[in-house]
Chain A
Amino acid sequence: MRNTEIKPVKIDSEPFFKRLLSHRLTFSLVVLLVVVVQNIITTPDFFKISMTNGLISGYIPNILDEASELVIVTLGMTLVIAVSGGVDLSVGAIMAIAASFCGLLLNGAEYRTDVFHNPYILALFVGLLGGGLCGVFNGFLVSRLKIQPMIATLILFTAGRSIAKQITHGQTIYIMNPVYKWLGVQIPGVPIRTTILISIAIIILVTLVTKLTSLGLYIQSVGINGSASRLVGLNSRAIKFMAFVICGVLAGAAGLVGSSSVGSVNSGELGLSIEMDAILAVALGGNDLFGGKFSIAGAVIGAYTIQAITTTLYAMNVRADQLNVFKAVIIIVIIVASSDVFKEKIKRFTRHLFSKNMSLGGLSDERQ
C-alpha cells in the first residue's frame, strides 16, 4: 500500500512517449528514417556493400563520404551558433581560401603539375592556418567590435571567393600528384575512404574538447546569457573569439578535404552554398538557432540527414542549383515550427478548439 502511494512522484516525469517527442534528436532521426526508407523502396541494393579497387563502396559509404565536408563544417557552425546566436556565413568562402593557400604552396606558379613544390604537411598546415586567419577576422569583428555575426561574416561570404580567386591567380589549380588524393580519397592499403575517417576523427576530437574541457559549458553559458557569464567571471569575448576561430579552422579542414577529393582547387565551386546546408543541419539536429544549448550528436546526425536528402534528390534528377528551393522551404518550416510565437499560437488555437468542443453540447452553441 505504501508503495502505491509514492506514485505521485512519477507524475513529475512526463510519459515516455511525450518525452520521446520532445527530445531534440527525435526530429532529425525521424527525417533520417524517412529518407532511408524512401531510399530502400526506390533502390533495392541500398544496404549492399562491395569492394571496388580496394575501397569499400556502396550507397551508405557513399553518403558518408559525400557528407564528410558538411559534417566538418557543421561542427564549427554548431559552436558559432551556440555561442553567438548568429551564423557564420563565410564557411564556404573559407573553404575556398584554405584550399587555395594549400594549392598555391603545392603547385608553385604552375597550375597543372604533379610535382610538389613544398612539403605536403606544410601545405596542409598553411591551409588550416588560412582558415584560422579567416576565423580570427570574423571573431575579431564579432567579439571585439560587437558586430552581429551575420553581417561580420557577410564580408568574407562575398569577398572570400574573390580573394581565393586572387590567391590562385584566377585559375583552377590541378594537383596531379597521387599523394594529394590521400586526404580526400584513399590512403593506399586502407579500405575505407579517408574522408570518412577524417570526419569521424574530427567528430571525436570536437566532442572530446567540448565534453572533457569546460569549453562546451562556457560556450553554452555565453550563448544563453553573455553578460551574466561575464559577471560570473567568464571571458565571454575570448570564448566567442575562440568559437569563431575553431569554426574557421574546421572550415579550412573541410576545404582541404573537399579539394583533395576532386584533386583540384576551384575557388568558385568549392563549398558553394554549404553554409545553407550547415545551418540546416544544425537546425535539423534540434539545436536552438538563437544560441545557447547545443548537441554535437544532433548536428552530426543532421548533417548526414541533409546529405542523404541531397543524394536522394540527385537520384530523382533534381539539379544541384534547384536543391536550394527544397532546402530553403525545409529550413523555413523547421524554424517556424520551433519558433515560440508559433508554438504559442498553436497552443492557443488548440485550446480554442478544445473549448469549442466542450461547449458544443451546451445550450449556447445550439442556439446559434
Chain B
Amino acid sequence: MRDSKKTAAPAPVQWIKHKGLSNTGVLLLITISLFVLLYVISLILFADSNFAKYSVFFNLINSKAHLLMLALGVTVVLITGSIDISVGGVTGLVSMVIAVMLMEYGVNAIWAIPMSLGIGLAFGIVQGFLVAYLEIQPFIVTLSGMFFARGMISVINAKSVPISDPSFMSWSSAKVFIPFLYNVRRNGTHDIAYLTPAAIAAIVILIVLIIALKKTKFGRSLYAVGGNPQSALFMGINIKRTKFMAHVLCSVLAGIGGLLFTLFAPSGNPGNGYGYEIDAISSSVIGGVMLNGGVGLPIGTLFGVLINSLIERVVPLLGIVDASWPRIISSAFLFVFIVLQSVFASASTKGGFKLLLPQWMKFKRKHTAET
C-alpha cells in the first residue's frame, strides 16, 4: 500500500529519477520550453508581425542554417570535453575564398563545395592533431586557429567581394516550397512556407548526426570520452583518435557552415563570421550541452539555434535598431545557462560544491588533487 502511495505522488526529484530523466533530459526540456515560451510571447506581443505564419517559422531555420552547422560542430567537440572557437574564422575564410574563387578566377561554382570541405578538413586535421596528440589546451589552439583564419581572410582580400556567379546565385535564391503549409494573404494569394537548399542540407546533416551520435560506435565513444576519459580508456576506446575525429568533424561542419553562409549572404566580406563562435557556443550551451563534456544532444542544439534566431528577429521589433543588442542578449542567455549548468552539476555531486574543471582543463600534472 505504502509503496503504491509513494509512486503515486513522488517528489519532483524522485519523479525525474523515476522517469529516467537525466541531466540531458532536464536541460533539453528547459530549452524546448524556453523556445516555446519565447515564441508564444512574441506571438502575443507582436500580433501584427506574422509570427503565426508558417513561413515565418521556417524562415527562422532558413536564416540560421549556417549557424546550425557551426553549433552542431561545436556540440560534437563540447561532448568530448574539448572546445573549438575557430569556427567563426573558418566560416569567414570559406566565404571569402569562395567569393574570390568565383569572381576573380572564374571557377565553376561546383568547386565551392570541395573547397569549403577542404578548408574545414585542413583546419580540423591541424587543430585535432595539436589537441589530441600533442595534448595542448584546445582553447589556445583554436584561438590561434581563429586568428589565423581571420588574418588569412585579409591576406586573401581586404575588400568586400559580392558574388554574382549565375549558378551560385541560383542555388542561393532557390526555394523548396513545403506543400500544404501556407497562409492566405489579405489579397488572396498564398504565402507558402519554404526552405532554402542550405536549410535542407543543414537539416539532413542534423538528422545524420542525431543518428550517428545515438547509434554508431563513434558517436557513443564521443560521450564516453567526454563523460569519463578514465573509464573510456578502460573500455578500450582510443581517446586520442576520438578527440582528433571530433575536431576534424567540427571543422568540416564549420567549412560546410561557411558554404551555407555564403549561400545565405552571397558575398565575401572581411567581417563575415565575426563573433559566430560565441553564437555557436551559446546555441550549443543553451541547447543543453554541458561545457564539461559528456552531455548534450544535437536536437537540443537545433533549439538553441532557433532561440538565437528568434532573438535576432524579435529584438528589432522591440524598437531597438542597433545591431549589437542581439549579441548582448545572446551572451546574457549564455551566462544564464552556464550558471544553470553549474548549479545542476553541483547539485548532482553529493559531496557539495566540487571543482567543475572540464576535462581539457585537467593538466597533466600528476599530483593535482582537484580532478
Contact = CB atoms under 8 A, between A and B. Distances in A.
B365 to A, nearest CB: 8
B355 A227 contact: yes
Given A158-B278, A328-B145, A289 B137 contact: yes
B324 A162 contact: yes
Given A86-B139, A170-B322, A328-B147, A321 B270 contact: yes
Nearest to B323: A162
Interface residues of B, number: 54
A160 B137 CA distance: 24
Given A147-B291, A324-B150, A332 B158 contact: no
B335 A319 contact: no
Contacts, number: 139
Contact of B147 (A141, A154, A276): A276
Contact of B155 (A227, A322, A332): A322
Contact of A325 (B136, B151, B291): B151
Nearest to B327: A162
Contacts of A316: none
Contact of A324 (B147, B324, B363): B147
B338 A141 contact: yes
Contacts of A85: 361, 363
A291 interface: yes
A323 B155 CA distance: 9
Contact of A145 (B144, B278, B325, B338): B338
Contacts of A62: none
Interface stretch (B3-11, B127-135, B199-207, B241-249): B127-135
B130 A154 contact: no
Contacts of A353: none
Interface in A308-339: 319, 321-329, 331-332, 335-336, 339
Interface in B341-371: 342, 346, 353, 355-358, 361, 363-365, 367-370
Contact of A321 (B150, B356, B358, B368): B150
Nearest to A340: B364
Contacts of A336: 130, 134, 136
Contact of A331 (B144, B291, B353, B367): B144
Contacts of B281: 151, 154
Contacts of B109: none
Nearest to A267: B324
A279 to B, nearest CB: 7
Interface in B316-334: 322, 324-325, 327-328, 331-332, 334
B358 to A, nearest CB: 6
B322 A145 contact: no
Contact of B335 (A155, A157, A335): A155
B29 interface: no
Nearest to B321: A170
B93 to A, nearest CB: 11
Contacts of A207: none
Contacts of B158: 319, 321
Interface in A78-116: 85-87, 89
B265 interface: no
A193 interface: no
Nearest to B354: A146
Contacts of A151: 83, 281, 291, 338
B154 A225 contact: no
B46 interface: no
Interface residues of A, number: 53
Interface in A144-174: 145-148, 150-152, 154-159, 161-163, 165-166, 170
Interface in A322-364: 322-329, 331-332, 335-336, 339-342
B355 A327 contact: no
Nearest to B368: A225
B114 interface: no
B232 interface: no
B30 interface: no
A52 B364 CA distance: 54
Interface in A256-289: 273, 276, 279, 289
Contact of A158 (B137, B139, B327, B357): B327
Contacts of B334: 155
A327 B342 contact: no
B87 to A, nearest CB: 13
A183 B18 CA distance: 65
Contact of B151 (A166, A224, A228, A324): A324
Contact of B331 (A87, A158, A331, A341): A158
B328 A163 contact: yes
A139 interface: no
Contacts of B342: 145-147
Contacts of B327: 158-159, 162
Contacts of B335: 141, 155
Nearest to B320: A166
A27 interface: no
Contact of A146 (B140, B145, B152, B355): B355
Contact of B144 (A157, A170, A225, A328): A328
A184 interface: no
Interface string B257-272: 0000000000000100
Interface of A: 85-87, 89, 141, 145-148, 150-152, 154-159, 161-163, 165-166, 170, 224-228, 273, 276, 279, 289-291, 319, 321-329, 331-332, 335-336, 339-342
19 contacts: A86-B139, A86-B361, A145-B339, A147-B291, A147-B338, A151-B83, A151-B291, A155-B278, A155-B338, A166-B324, A325-B147, A325-B148, A325-B155, A329-B148, A331-B144, A332-B144, A336-B136, A340-B364, A341-B133
Listed from nearest, the 6 A-B pairs whose CB atoms lie closest are A162-B324, A325-B151, A324-B151, A159-B331, A328-B148, A321-B154
Given A146-B356, A323-B151, 14 more contacts: A86-B361, A155-B335, A155-B338, A156-B331, A158-B331, A159-B328, A159-B331, A165-B324, A225-B368, A226-B370, A328-B144, A328-B151, A335-B141, A336-B136
